[in-house]
Amino acid sequence: MRLNEARRIFKEIREIDERISVRPHAWRDHPERRFTALELVRLIRGRGVLRDNKYPSAQPRSFLWACMDDNLRKAEVALVFEQDKSGDLIVIIHAYREVKE
Amino acid sequence: MKSATVKNFRYQSAFGEMTFDSVTVLIPDEFGPRQASAAKALEGVDFSIPVPELKRMERELALAFFSRAYRAIMNDERTISVAELRGIQDILDVNRSELGKLLGLHKGSVTNLFKGKAMKASLCMLIMERLGMELGRPGSARHMIDGGNPERQVPAARRVINQARYPSGDEAA
């Protein structure tokens, strides 16, 4: 992703900050990662870097939000932009972090 | 995507599990509204839950936890588990350093709590008080940390909190 593209998407995330939706898969299907739904939302609203989602199994047109959690562990949150009748919204589809406890 | 109302939606968090009468979820456009009214029909569908609905469900569960555990914690019969503490942090909507400020602890001590260090009964009570404060008046924790306007009181939540605190109706005393 080029810098201009990343900036545009980052701006988009900040503008539709209030309209976030979370897929249960992101926190429910991998309990070993110890995510909670609201923690994922907190991560998206915090600091991070936006990257292309280049995983082979990635959903098309999804992005990775790379950030640090409260415990300074690297976390990656996959998100897509969707639209409904009220406008744009961010959907958190997947999340990953390594927990060594 | 479009909104759909799902009846008898089961939601699980650190505070336990609860079945909600109706929850609004977002489903793909090709999914029929009649199918979406049953929670079972959502299996295998990429539905997502909007943040206001998530918060509502988390708050309901936290309120149930508060009324269930308050007396036991006060009588030193139980403590707060790490998962519950994580849930409380979510409800308060703070990071660990801010949680430390709310509890009068250093950030490192808060990290130790999240690693499973035993909590004193007085600390558990303080955490429960902070939770009760936030549930009764959303935004209070944020208000305590850096000012701002807490949202209006939630009378239903306030009633449950008072019942947990004063079960024999000795609130006035």
Q: What is the pLDDT of residue B36?
A: 57
Instruction: With beta carbons less than 8 A apart as the criterion, state whether A74 and A97 touch.
Output: yes
Instruction: With beta carbons less than 8 A apart as the criterion, state whether A97 and A35 touch.
Output: yes
Distance, CA of A96 to CA of B158 (rounded, Å): 37
Distance, CA of A23 to CA of B49 (rounded, Å): 6
**Amino acid type, A71:** N
Q: Which pairs count as long-range contacts for A59-66, CB under 8 Å and 24+ apart, including other chains?
A: A59/A93, A62/A93, A63/A9, A65/A13
**Amino acid type, A29:** D
Residue A2, min C-alpha distance to chain B (Å): 28
CA atoms within 13 A on the CB side of B140: 14
- As a whole number, the mean pLDDT across chain A is 87
Residue B171, min C-alpha distance to chain A (Å): 33
A91: β partners: A21, A80
Instruction: With beta carbons less than 8 A apart as the criterion, state whether B37 and B6 touch.
Output: yes
* Strand-strand pairing, B49-50 and A74-84: unpaired
Q: In which domain, by residue range, is A15 found?
A: 3-97
Interface confidence (ipTM) of the complex = 0.86
A-chain CB neighbours of B111 within 8 Å are: 71
Distance, CA of B44 to CA of B126 (rounded, Å): 42
Per-residue pLDDT of chain B (173 residues; tens, 9 = 90+): 888 888 888 999 989 999 999 898 888 887 766 555 666 667 777 889 999 999 999 999 999 999 999 999 999 899 999 999 999 999 999 989 999 999 999 989 999 999 989 999 999 999 999 999 999 988 889 888 887 666 677 888 888 888 888 887 655 44
Residue A33 per-residue DSSP state: G
Length of chain B: 173
Question: What does the pLDDT look like over A24-44, one tens digit per residue?
Answer: 999 989 989 999 999 999 998
Closest CB to B54 among A28, A38, A71:
A38
For chain B, give the percent of residues with pLDDT over 90.
Answer: 49
Mean pLDDT (whole number) for A66-76 = 91
Please report how the helices B121-136 and B155-165 are oriented relative to each other, as an axis angle in degrees rounded to 10: 150
Q: Does A82 touch chain B (CB under 8 A)?
A: yes
Count: domains in chain A: 1
Q: What is the pLDDT of residue B173?
A: 44
Structure tokens that stand for B15 in this block? 């505070």
Choice between B126 and A100, residue whose per-residue pLDDT is larger: B126
Choice between A11 and B21, residue whose per-residue pLDDT is larger: B21
Q: What is the pLDDT of residue B169?
A: 63
SS3 category, B80? coil
Look up the pTM and report it: 0.85
